[in-house]
Structure 1
Amino acid sequence: MSNDHKNFIVEGNLADNERLKEQSNLLRGTIAENLTDDLTGAFVGDNFQLIRFHGMYQQDDRDIRAERAKQKLEPLQNVMLRARLPGGIITTKQWLAIDKFAEEKSIYGSIRLTTRQTFQFHGVLKPNVKSMHQMLNQVGVDSIATAGDVNRNVLCTSNPVESEVHQEAYEWAKKISEHLLPKTRAYAEIWLDGEKSETTEVEPILGNNYLPRKFKTTVVIPPQNDVDVHANDLNFVAIAENGKLIGFNVLVGGGLAMTHGDTSTFPRKADDFGYISIEHTLAVAEAVVSTQRDWGNRVNRKNAKTKYTLERVGVENFKAEVEKRSGVSFAQSRPYEFTSRGDRIGWVEGVDGKHHLTLFIENGRILDYPGKTLKTGCAEIAKIHTGDFRLTANQNLIVAGVPASQKAQIEQLAREHGLMADDVSLQRKDSMACVSLPTCPLAMAEAERYLPDAVTEIEGILAKHGMQNESIIYRVTGCPNGCGRAMLAEVGLVGKAPGKYNFHLGGDRQGTRIPRMYRENIDEKEIMDELDVLIGRWSKEREVNEAFGDFLIRAKVVKPVIDSAKDFYDDPSYSI
């Protein structure tokens, strides 16, 4: 690094996570020893954090925490595992294996589809953790680097393969994921009994202390913004000519997480660095990651993400460093437009004559309920389906590559098991929540369990005002960390306390505008009362086809967020 850029390094006492990573022996820690400790169901000390680099978070069931304490028992410690599944594609054989494990070895018995376009197991007790990784490995799946200070699962527009562009984009998502993975053999050694003779003692891209903070990457194909590019550190926007992928516009520095009460933290849109031809993709990805590795804030983790690095050092300086490290000069961005970001629920036909069925999975939770046996239904489809499954970043499931001869049979199974219905409203399809309580230790308020009833209330308000054929991008996240992507919604709720949320308004349907906080720390009734009034105004005052978020800005209900580093915390109201 040149002397000119030394002032881009944040000086001060390093965050404790930096000590932890440095002393971890390339992510090994004492996890293996901890596995054999049957005195606790927990991973203790540094291992509590280190297992995240192996794709797991330690959790407990907060609903029963107090009762267990009365019984003088430790919390019901377990892990959540998030799989690495670039582009969200999974074979039916893999699906049946994870279905069986969830049924037999997890507390909750469910498979959870996530906003990171993969699946999660919840409630796996420590005695079953190693066998879980071995089961995944046997079917060609792992959970390497789906959490921790690394590049996480790479998202890709989940539109089924209807053209060469979609297939190529998916292949690039896989290549980027593999290129940026940690090289340490810690995962293989601990979980797969791998030999140590090939142990790696250096991390050429991530560095031996890994990244300052988590890092998220996507590949997106306009006009669909189904991966929400502005929620991610690095985005490759596909540019095609004559049905062939020729390159990418590169967007850097998006992110939605913030901390309540800390105005140095804020959601931020990604900056467009420019266009690169396709052969430079991996070099540019590596250069962005290594620049963030070297310049990111290792003193204050709340300001450690790429978005804060760009704000601190300047977008042009960061971009110039990426060009220098990659040997690639960004050209002027090619034109593109996002027009939608939801999934197309139901059947679509591909150019190859194959059919693709997108199943709406509310909150992504695949479990058997009375009269709605979603988990059994997915398994029954997997047993006969000759194509693959696609997980979407909107928590839905695509049965992809269905021949015409199987279409009726698969639809019948989907309908029998409640996976397909004709009465799911547009509003329900456009609503999303993170997991939150009872398993997430960061949750401040309900999200997944609150969403279904909240959507029913909104459906009623829309109908009351004659807007039942319209919808609002509505998202709920149980804390300010952004997993439910509420900071790219027209209406976004961010958990503040049990039953209380910060109420954000004014995002757009395309996912290119951050909503502003309109009311702070209000309860569920107050939120619905506010929506009743605002939807009533929207129904009477809207322009032709004007979306709710756009109406709120035009009607001066809230100011648009233009530069979130400077104006996100401004007063939401217009002075009169």
Structure 2
Amino acid sequence: MSNSDYKPNSKLDPNAKLSDNERLKTQSNLLRGTIKTDLGDQLTGGFTDDNFQLIRFHGMYQQDDRDIRAERIKQKLEPMHNVMLRARMPGGIIKPHQWLAIDKFAEEKTEYGSIRLTTRQTFQFHGVLKPHIKEMHLTLNDVGIDSIATAGDVNRNVLCTTNPVESELHQEAYEWAARISEHLLPKTRAYAEIWLNGEKQETTEEEPVLGSTYLPRKFKTTVTIPPNNEVDVHANDLNFVAIAEDGKLVGFNVLVGGGLAMTHGDVNTYPRKADDFGFISLDDTLAVAEHVVGVQRDWGNRANRKNAKTKYTLDTFGTDAFKAEVEKRADVTFAPSRPYEFTHRGDRIGWVEGIDGKHHLTVFIQSGRILDYPGKPLKTGCRKIAEIHQGDFRMTANQNLIIAGVPAEQKAEIEQLAREHGLIDDAHTEQRKNSMACVSLPTCPLAMAEAERYLPDLIEKTEAILAKHEIADDDIILRVVGCPNGCGRAMLAEIGFVGKGPGKYNVYLGGNRAGTRIPKLYLENVGEEVYLPALDELIGQWAKERQPDECFGDFVIRKEIVAEVKVSKTDFHA
């Protein structure tokens, strides 16, 4: 389907002008553009025109260091352009030899020297200058890693519950995550031609799943094993919830239409939970994945990108109509959903033993930033473990790292290395472990307020409030993001801070422990002088008046401090 023959579905304005991104994709020659030409232009450190957007389909965002932007302007220099690369790692599994390769590149060829674990269960390089970009892709390719379709209007890195205990079930789920990822990948050879010295082939290329103009907007997919909702299914367009019998995977419940991004001041945008379409057998998994994507491809709004995500397509056409179209195209009938329950979504920090007798160590990495800090050389510690580790690493959707598959005889050695390098810190509170932030400043061009750099201070102040009310051992799921685009999943937190401006946030309350409820606005565009006293009062009230095992998010709903968001389209802005 090309831009010229695209016809909006009847419920969309047939005369609406398509967004410029649709022109860009149509004219891109299946994502090639003139990236090669730009790559060789040493007069600028950035990419120009359409290529600024097209490199996203190859897994990169052009950024600059905003801390020094003003000074460079004074010096009549362009911004310090660089790229952030996000790798494609379905299920978050990475082998020790791969880890050593990315560690070396981060140390030698990036401006920040860090490896950052993301909420999309992969890693990112930050601060890669133009002369090193192609080398970066070749380095990754040499160890079996790529960054195809980790950004842009495509299906992105497929998440999977990192469950090291029930190893056989996890292996099955992980294999499906990998298969779904491969099935939904772009088929163009543009990535190989531009970055891997691949020769251009004369054969006609097609995009049978994504279409020649790809999707109307980004698309996110997960494979989830209850009762752990660490991947936050309601933040994603398409979710396969594993249903097991006697420890064996028998099929999936399919949830469609989740998403957290919104736009400040635009009541037509909102975070939304996913709808449950029903149960499917394993044999139908790839067909359902393909045709959920296909319906969104054909019905999604290509005129207004703010309303182009799957969640808005469902609200425009109706969940029943969308589901029926998927059933028709896939020749599948959804059965009633099988029972399941999400009870938690945090990582089990520390050691656990799997049913296979192997041991697994989950280490807490604040904000996922792996770097050598004074007294805590985390990056060196990970490298030293990778040099002797016989299993694999698993990156979690909570930005932590699992050292998985450790035999009993190696457990003590691994733990010693982890403790020596600060990867195990018994002083970390539960509040710290259950707090999260996006990258935000100084690199994200969309950031309105601090997030990653502010989180440690915010955690300490929250811990002080908990201690003041004699509940220091309790915790609240707290997340802070620099803008409303949803990367840090603040809109599924019990307390969510969403950046509005320097030092100013919108504060949302009322998510729950399981990640199955959207929070609601409580304070708008306020700083610490307003929200810290307000939280002090609310947390004190929670400490005194809560019911047994009642989490903070449930408490504020029960006490009607904020109203429950049941249907986002009508309730979120009410």
State the TM bucket, normalised to the shorter chain: over 0.9
Aligned residue for 1:341, secondary structure, equals coil
In structure 2, relative to structure 1, the CA distance for the partners of 1:10 and 1:93 (3 Å cut) is: farther
Residue aligning to 1:384? 388
User: Alpha-carbon deviations, 1:290-313, whole Å to 9, x = none?
Assistant: 000000000000000000000001
User: Contact conserved, 2:435 with 2:479, CA < 8 A, in 1?
Assistant: yes
* C-alpha displacement of 1:198: 6.0
**Residue 430 (structure 2) pairs with residue 431 (structure 1):** no
Residue aligning to 1:290? 294
User: Contact conserved, 2:236 with 2:258, CA < 8 A, in 1?
Assistant: yes
**Inter-partner Cα distance in structure 1 for 2:117 and 2:497:** 21
In structure 2, relative to structure 1, the CA distance for the partners of 1:472 and 1:270 (3 Å cut) is: same
**Inter-partner Cα distance in structure 2 for 1:444 and 1:247:** 42
In structure 2, relative to structure 1, the CA distance for the partners of 1:4 and 1:36 (3 Å cut) is: closer
The amino acid that maps onto 2:519 is P
Residue aligning to 1:480? 484
Residue aligning to 2:37? 33
Task: From 531, 536, 542, give the equivalent of 1:538.
Answer: 542
Residue aligning to 1:18? 22
Higher deviation after alignment, 23-32 or 198-207: 198-207
User: Alpha-carbon deviations, 1:476-511, whole Å to 9, x = none?
Assistant: 010000001000000000000000000100110100
**Residue 263 (structure 2) pairs with residue 263 (structure 1):** no
Task: From 117, 122, 125, give the equivalent of 1:121.
Answer: 125
Aligned residue for 1:311, secondary structure, equals helix
**Inter-partner Cα distance in structure 2 for 1:80 and 1:375:** 19
* C-alpha displacement of 1:162: 2.6
**Inter-partner Cα distance in structure 1 for 2:254 and 2:38:** 42
Spell out the pairing of 1:207-226 with structure 2 (5 A cutoff).
Answer: 207-226=211-230
The amino acid that maps onto 2:312 is Y
Q: Percent sequence identity over matched residues?
A: 74
Task: From 480, 488, 493, give the equivalent of 1:489.
Answer: 493
Q: CA RMSD in A?
A: 1.2
Task: From 515, 520, 532, give the equivalent of 1:516.
Answer: 520
In structure 2, relative to structure 1, the CA distance for the partners of 1:281 and 1:304 (3 Å cut) is: same
* C-alpha displacement of 1:165: 1.2
The amino acid that maps onto 2:488 is G
**Inter-partner Cα distance in structure 2 for 1:298 and 1:62:** 31
* C-alpha displacement of 1:8: 5.5
Residue aligning to 1:166? 170
Higher deviation after alignment, 152-161 or 110-119: 152-161
User: Alpha-carbon deviations, 1:414-437, whole Å to 9, x = none?
Assistant: 000001011110000000000000
* C-alpha displacement of 1:6: 4.2
**Inter-partner Cα distance in structure 2 for 1:320 and 1:249:** 16
Residue aligning to 2:462? 458
Residue aligning to 2:237? 233
Higher deviation after alignment, 158-167 or 337-346: 158-167
The amino acid that maps onto 1:185 is R
User: Contact conserved, 1:184 with 1:200, CA < 8 A, in 2?
Assistant: no
**Residue 368 (structure 2) pairs with residue 364 (structure 1):** yes
Spell out the pairing of 1:390-429 with structure 2 (5 A cutoff).
Answer: 390-429=394-433
Residue aligning to 2:158? 154
* C-alpha displacement of 1:5: 5.8
**Inter-partner Cα distance in structure 2 for 1:458 and 1:525:** 14
Residue aligning to 1:75? 79
Task: From 99, 105, 109, give the equivalent of 1:95.
Answer: 99
* C-alpha displacement of 1:9: 7.0
* C-alpha displacement of 1:163: 3.1
Residue aligning to 1:204? 208
* C-alpha displacement of 1:199: 5.0
Residue aligning to 1:574? none
* C-alpha displacement of 1:526: 1.6
Aligned residue for 2:67, secondary structure, equals coil
**Residue 92 (structure 2) pairs with residue 85 (structure 1):** no
**Inter-partner Cα distance in structure 1 for 2:263 and 2:204:** 36
**Residue 144 (structure 2) pairs with residue 140 (structure 1):** yes
Aligned residue for 2:242, secondary structure, equals strand
**Inter-partner Cα distance in structure 2 for 1:75 and 1:554:** 50
Give TM-score, length-normalised by structure 2: 0.98
**Inter-partner Cα distance in structure 1 for 2:15 and 2:120:** 33
* C-alpha displacement of 1:160: 1.6
**Inter-partner Cα distance in structure 2 for 1:112 and 1:61:** 16
Give TM-score, length-normalised by structure 1: 0.98
Residue aligning to 1:343? 347
**Residue 559 (structure 2) pairs with residue 548 (structure 1):** no
In structure 2, relative to structure 1, the CA distance for the partners of 1:169 and 1:505 (3 Å cut) is: same
**Inter-partner Cα distance in structure 1 for 2:282 and 2:529:** 51
User: Contact conserved, 2:363 with 2:402, CA < 8 A, in 1?
Assistant: yes
* C-alpha displacement of 1:525: 2.8
**Inter-partner Cα distance in structure 2 for 1:170 and 1:148:** 24
User: Contact conserved, 1:14 with 1:298, CA < 8 A, in 2?
Assistant: yes
Residue aligning to 1:189? 193
Aligned residue for 1:289, secondary structure, equals helix
Find runs of 4+ consecutive structure 1 residues off by over 6 angstroms: none
* C-alpha displacement of 1:70: 1.0
User: Contact conserved, 2:165 with 2:353, CA < 8 A, in 1?
Assistant: no
User: Contact conserved, 1:237 with 1:248, CA < 8 A, in 2?
Assistant: yes
User: Alpha-carbon deviations, 1:530-552, whole Å to 9, x = none?
Assistant: 11000000011001111000010
Aligned residue for 1:264, secondary structure, equals coil
Residue aligning to 1:560? 564
**Residue 305 (structure 2) pairs with residue 308 (structure 1):** no
Aligned residue for 1:51, secondary structure, equals helix
Structure 2 residue runs of 5 or longer lacking an equivalent are: none
* C-alpha displacement of 1:524: 2.0
Spell out the pairing of 1:41-60 with structure 2 (5 A cutoff).
Answer: 41-60=45-64
Aligned residue for 2:17, secondary structure, equals coil
**Inter-partner Cα distance in structure 2 for 1:66 and 1:201:** 44
User: Contact conserved, 1:9 with 1:294, CA < 8 A, in 2?
Assistant: no
The amino acid that maps onto 1:488 is L
What is the aligned residue count? 569
The amino acid that maps onto 1:130 is K
The amino acid that maps onto 2:481 is T
Aligned residue for 1:432, secondary structure, equals strand
Aligned residue for 2:344, secondary structure, equals coil
**Inter-partner Cα distance in structure 2 for 1:317 and 1:535:** 43
User: Contact conserved, 2:12 with 2:301, CA < 8 A, in 1?
Assistant: no
The amino acid that maps onto 1:97 is A
User: Contact conserved, 1:10 with 1:297, CA < 8 A, in 2?
Assistant: no
* C-alpha displacement of 1:201: 2.1
**Inter-partner Cα distance in structure 1 for 2:203 and 2:564:** 52
User: Contact conserved, 1:272 with 1:333, CA < 8 A, in 2?
Assistant: yes
Residue aligning to 1:569? 573
**Inter-partner Cα distance in structure 1 for 2:328 and 2:395:** 36
Aligned residue for 2:29, secondary structure, equals coil
Aligned residue for 2:231, secondary structure, equals coil
The amino acid that maps onto 2:330 is S
* C-alpha displacement of 1:513: 0.4
* C-alpha displacement of 1:457: 0.6
* C-alpha displacement of 1:235: 0.2
**Inter-partner Cα distance in structure 1 for 2:389 and 2:257:** 40
User: Alpha-carbon deviations, 1:302-344, whole Å to 9, x = none?
Assistant: 0000000000011000000000010000000000000000000
User: Contact conserved, 1:156 with 1:170, CA < 8 A, in 2?
Assistant: yes
